[in-house]
Amino acid sequence: MAKKKVLLLGAAGLVAPHITAGLERYFELRLADIKPHPDGREQWPVDIGCYEQVLEAARGMDAILNFTVNRSHPVLSFTVNVLGAYHVLKAAVELGITRIVHTGPQMVISAYQHDFDVDDPPPRPGSGYYGVTKFLSNELCRVFARAHNVQIVCFLFNGLHAKPKAPIQGEDFPPFTIVWEDLVEACRLGVEVDAAAIPGGFQVFNLHSHQGHGKYVLDRAERILGFRPLEPVERLYRRPLG
């Protein structure tokens, strides 16, 4: 079976370079970004704030992975996070692309610090500009899924890093942190999951790799996508008592 053709937006950012090689095992990737790739990879020069550039990059693709983000600039953060998401959605509809994987920051920690078994609470993005722009992009995804035949999976997390290779001492594992291998697997599932499995055409999944604290569970991600962390990495943070 031929690999699906997938456009990876934000290919030169802080996240995508770490998962590109893993994704290439499953998909034929088209890398796109406005800045040069840190590893010198060939990519399409795409400003996500320009609809025509997004549209051209998406031609011939089966799915789109959107890893673009701007956190701090008062103008570009809206252009990238909100307008850029709109351009991705609009291009997908125009070209008949029916699968999008969207990404953003977690939106529950600040309101549920003292809770356990938190699965799918209402999002609480807070008043920070970055969180609000990403929340608005999620709402755009929700609207497009309802209005058009587009299935959108949205992954939210807090931090990303390599899988620990040895026991960790002197620090605890942070909630909502996902290791690169697990994010690759989540993206694979997000692209390949059957359309009928995505209720309402749009679903948000809180993702992480460290389940030991029991605070934020992955029940919905497992039930709908079949996602579970590949390894229980929290075991490397265990310490002897006494």
DSSP states of 109-136 as a string?
A: GGG-TT-SSB-SPPP---S-HHHHHHHH
pLDDT at 89 over 70: yes
* pLDDT tens per residue, range 197-234: 898 999 999 898 887 777 788 898 999 999 999 888 77
| Longest CA–CA separation in the chain, Å | 63
Mean pLDDT for the stretch of residues 74-81: 93
Domains identified in the chain and CATH numbers: 4-237 (3.40.50.720)
Determine the pLDDT at residue 242. 58
- The rounded mean pLDDT for the chain is 90
Higher pLDDT, 149 or 66: 66
CA distance 32 to 12: 8
pLDDT at 1 over 80: no
Phi, psi of 30 (to 5 degrees): -115, 110
Determine the pLDDT at residue 35. 95
Whether the CB-CB separation of 103 and 16 falls below 8 Å is answered with no
Find all residues with CB under 8 Å of 192, minimum gap 6, and list them: 4, 26
| CB-count burial class (<10 Å; 0-12, 13-18, 19+) for 238 | exposed
Determine the pLDDT at residue 233. 79
pLDDT at 49 over 80: yes
